[in-house]
Amino acid sequence: MITRRAFLRLVGGSAFAMVSLSAYAVGIEPMLLTHVKRYTLTPPHWPAGLKLRVVALADIHSCRPWMTPERIAALAEEANALQPDLIVLLGDYTAGTKLVTGRVRVEEWAEALSGLKAPLGVLSILGNHDWWTDFFAQRAEAGPTQSRKALEHVGIPVLENDVVRVEKDGHGLWIAGLADQLALLPNKAKGRDSFQGFDDLPGTLAKIQGSEPIILLAHEPDIFPKVPSRVSLTLSGHTHGGQVRLFGYSPVVPSDYGNRFAYGHVVENDRNLIVSGGLGFSILPVRLGVRPEMLQIDLG
């Protein structure tokens, strides 16, 4: 038996816990607990003597009040302070939820990202939301998207099925960027039942000559089963780690593979994938057990 007073205490305590947890998941974890997630690895076939620090920012999802230009500029400063050789942006710069108090124009978030600096450069790819929020690109069923134009305007190259070669300490290295795998929304009027991607992995990799290592940037990790072992490392975002992840399990993951590529470092058949939990959020402004993160990856 439980006394009335104990019952009320229990209910009151639970309500307080629920309110606290909600405040944490909506306010504190998404906003304040941004951290640097560090990985150190030597991928297969990595040349001896090549040490490379890559910092990756994923799923910024700019919007007010959650991801303002001021906050993005502060994140750029934080990324620079890690002294990376190379900075990569893994897509989804535009808002991913309608629960916002205001929009951030593409020019504003791009300007904030223009503060990123690294000796080998800053390279980017696009994500599904960069396509989905672009009415004209959807209608035309083609780019360039507003996000692409804004990034290029501030001098950040956008790789859509394209590659760039960089050099560090006498070693050459390829950065390959895949076009988005979910770019076009389903559209009955146009006879499209499901999402249509513009990704062309074989065509992208065909642009690379020789045997120098390759880092592949692919917004959605679902491409990973098709990535050949020739690629040293694949970097993805998109999943936000499910946004809610407890005890290594995410109940909701926007991936055909469920939890397989939801978050973190995945090694399959000697091939390496790192999925960032990202910085912003989509659908609901909630994060629990997946703090906003930027990646620092030390290779060598």
Residues making contact with Fe ion (CB under 5 A) = 92, 127-128, 238
Comparing CB distances to Fe ion, the nearer of 127 and 277 is 127
Q: How far is the CB of 261 from Fe ion (least distance, A)?
A: 13
Select 92 or 160, whichever has its Cβ closest to Fe ion: 92
Rounded Cα distance, 278 and 176, in Å: 20
Closer residue to Fe ion (CB): 232 or 282: 282
Category of 270 on φ-ψ map: left (φ > 0), alpha (ψ -120 to 50) or beta: left
Cα-Cα-Cα-Cα dihedral sign, residues 19, 104, 281, 297: negative
Q: State the minimum distance, in angstroms, from the CB of residue 167 to Fe ion.
A: 31
Nearest-CB residue for Fe ion: 238
Backbone angles phi, psi at 240, to 5 degrees: 55, 25
Residue 164 CB, nearest approach to Fe ion (Å): 22
**∠162-298-156 over CA atoms, to 5°?**
35
Separation CA 174–CA 159 (nearest Å): 12
C-beta of 62 vs 128, nearer to Fe ion: 128
Q: Minimum Å distance from CB 128 to Fe ion? A: 5
Instruction: Select 29 or 92, whichever has its Cβ closest to Fe ion.
Output: 92
Residue where the block lists tokens 């050099």:
167
Compare residues 71 and 238 and give the one whose CB is closer to Fe ion.
Answer: 238
- The least CB distance from residue 197 to Fe ion, in Å, is 12
Phi and psi of 65, rounded to 5°? -90, 5
DSSP 24-73: IIIIIHHHH--EEEEEEE--TTPPTT--EEEEEE-----BBTTB-HHHHH
**Distance from the Cα of residue 274 to its chain's centroid:** 10
Please report how close the Cβ of residue 281 comes to Fe ion at its closest, in angstroms: 11
| Contact by Cβ (8 Å): 160, 151 | no
